[in-house]
Amino acid sequence: MQKENNHKGKKDINTNSKQWMNSFIYIIVYISIALAIAVCTKFIMKEEEPVSIANNSAEALVYEKKYDNAIAEYTILQEKEQWPSYEMEIAKIYSIQGDFIKSNDVLQSVYEKRNKIIDADGKEKHIEEDKKLLNDILFTSMINGDSEKALEYGEVFLEEYPDDKNIMNTMFMVYMLNNKVNNAKMILSTYPINEITSSDLTKLADMNALTNNYEKSLELLKEAWNMDNDNLEILNVLEQIYSNNKEYILTEVKKLSEENKDETIYKVWLAKLYSLDSKTLNEADKLISELEEKNIENLNISFIKADVYNELGKTKESKSILNGIYEEYKESYVGSYAKAINEYNLSEYESALNSCKESILLNRDYAANYSVMLPKIMDALKQNELEEPYLRIALEKEPYNYGLILKMADYYSSVLKDSNKALYYYEFASKINPKDADILYDMAIIKVNTQRIDEAVELLNKAIKIDSTKSQYYRALGSIYLTEEKNDSAIKAIREGYAKDKDDVLNLNNAGCYYIIVEKNVSRALTNLKAAYDGMDENTTDEQRKIITDNYNRVKAIEGNSNSALTLTDFKLFY
């Protein structure tokens, strides 16, 4: 019995050992699987490493808008170098900050150091870096508002490097700022044509448009297209000049398309222009279909198609096109640019930001990445306060880009709420194009917001003298007069605005406010406010919609009561 028990005990021990070993193995397997899953999940879901486009630690600080730290870092970097390139970057930072006195002082120091080095070494040793430095000095001096000093610098620099395209591009704007339009035109007529590229032709087209020579501008864009119809800058410039003179450009391109039915270019241009307005997206789609039927394809057409399809809700088709571009051009900035657009459309904003920066690393001269794509993505990421240095770089690359100057003014006004910088850039733009009444209107609104009412009225009256057809100028005047209790002038301006545009819901809102506040006429107020309420459409912003609705409901609540105690403080006006 004892032997049997011993044997049984051994058997039990062996059985338990096996069970324990099996359990141990299972545990190890489970842990291994769990670890594998965790590692894979972490690998799949990990955040992408952010791509940097900075050339050094100081530049990285600029992109973070840590300007004082960047200045300190550039100072350290400059101590190790003789050529004053890092000191030049310090002058740029002061300029971005709006400290033009310090910026100009540093510019003078940079120029003096450059001259000493050139005198000692000779120019031949430093030609390429010298061209860049002189253009940086010229651009920064111009943007600092010292147009006379910029003119002085520029004419000296042009003597030294008469064929340098970058200096010529910047000098064109310096002449425009100094109201020397004929000199600016001379720059265009003497532009070096040896080894001219499609990109050069688009720049010339943009500059010709600024001198109001739109016919020549379109001719140059056609030359650029014939040279390289994959050049993305062509349609960028077309969009730019269209934004300056929509009616003329659209009419002219339609006319060219009718007169040259066999030429693809004008159909593509029309498709691009139609794609810029939600009301004409279907027209763009029809033109795209016509091009597809003829098997006509290039990069520009592909980007238009992707944009139109995305706007029409054909996201699958849009994604397919952009993926195709990426696969074909993944070694080029174009591929990463297409990838960034695709990721943006899919709301993958962090990935889009990285792809856009990868595109910049592959081509630092494609300004639209800095001025359009990056700001769009950063807006979506709620990082719009960091856009400032990128917009500035874009303007350095395209100093003749009038739309970009206005974009910077709008950025300072609406995003950074910096009225002084906003006014500075609006005034800068106004010197280039003094007949742009919309700039005066934008400046007037800033003056209203900063309580400079008399100046606002003066600007609006100037705008009306330039262009008396736009209702918003009268609307803004009416609001100012109503706020200032100049009621006769207020209703006169409101009625003038109504005569220009009977469907202006913002002006109808103001009319309703006038009738309830001044005349205590509930019925008439309600008629105008209801018209404003009923007239709201897809172009009415959420804020405008709320104001109109609140004003309408407030008056509707007292319908039938002729003894209204409502005052101006109970309502909101539009300017």
Of the candidates 118, 57, 54, the one whose C-alpha atom is nearest the C-alpha of residue 84 is 118
pTM of the model: 0.88
Q: Which CATH number fits domain 469-575: 3.20.20.60, 2.40.40.20, 1.25.40.10, 1.10.3720.10?
A: 1.25.40.10
Neighbour count for residue 237 (Cβ, 10 Å): 25
276 DSSP 8-state letter = T
pLDDT at 3 over 60: no
**pLDDT score, position 8:** 44
379 token code pair: 């807006």
Asked if 29 and 334 touch (Cβ cutoff 8 Å), the reply is no
Asked if 174 and 149 touch (Cβ cutoff 8 Å), the reply is no
Instruction: Kindly indicate the confidence band of residue 567, based on its pLDDT and cuts at 50, 70 and 90.
Output: confident
**pLDDT score, position 25:** 57
**pLDDT score, position 48:** 73
Residues 138-186: tens digit of each pLDDT? 999 999 999 999 999 999 999 999 999 999 999 999 999 999 999 999 9
Per-residue burial over 101-137, b if 16 or more Cβ lie within 10 Å, else e, is ebbbebbeebbebbeebeeeeeeeeeeeebbebbbbb
Q: How far apart are CA 515 and CA 566, in angstroms?
A: 11
Instruction: Kindly indicate the confidence band of residue 6, based on its pLDDT and cuts at 50, 70 and 90.
Output: very low
pLDDT at 269 over 90: yes
Q: How far apart are CA 271 and CA 538, in angstroms?
A: 22
Long-range contacts of 496-499 (CB under 8 A, 24+ apart): 497/471, 497/472, 497/473, 498/471
**pLDDT score, position 4:** 41
Q: What is the mean pLDDT of residues 488-505?
A: 97
**pLDDT score, position 560:** 73
Fold agreement (65-195, 469-575): yes
pLDDT at 2 over 50: no
The fraction of the chain above a pLDDT of 90, given in percent, is: 87
Q: What is the mean pLDDT of residues 191-198?
A: 91
**pLDDT score, position 21:** 52
From the DSSP assignment, how many helices (H) and strands (E) are in the chain? Answer: 31, 0
Residues 337-347: tens digit of each pLDDT? 999 999 999 99
**pLDDT score, position 43:** 39
Asked if 242 and 271 touch (Cβ cutoff 8 Å), the reply is no
Residues 514-549: tens digit of each pLDDT? 999 999 999 999 999 999 999 999 889 999 999 999
Instruction: Kindly indicate the confidence band of residue 23, based on its pLDDT and cuts at 50, 70 and 90.
Output: low
Residues 352-398: tens digit of each pLDDT? 999 999 999 999 999 999 999 999 999 999 999 999 999 999 999 99
Residues 395-443: tens digit of each pLDDT? 999 999 999 999 999 999 999 999 999 999 999 999 999 999 999 999 9
Asked if 202 and 231 touch (Cβ cutoff 8 Å), the reply is yes
**pLDDT score, position 19:** 53
**65-195: in CATH 1.25.40.10:** yes
Q: Where are the domains of the chain?
A: 1-43, 65-195, 469-575
pLDDT at 202 over 70: yes
pLDDT at 70 over 50: yes
Residue type for 256, please? L
DSSP 110-179: HHHHHHHHHHHH-GGGGHHHHHHHHHHHHHHHHHTT-HHHHHHHHHHHHHH-TT-HHHHHHHHHHHHHTT
pLDDT at 564 over 90: no
**pLDDT score, position 522:** 94
Instruction: Kindly indicate the confidence band of residue 193, based on its pLDDT and cuts at 50, 70 and 90.
Output: confident
Instruction: Kindly indicate the confidence band of residue 453, based on its pLDDT and cuts at 50, 70 and 90.
Output: very high
Q: Which residue has the tokens 């952009």?
A: 322
Cα maximum dimension of the chain: 123
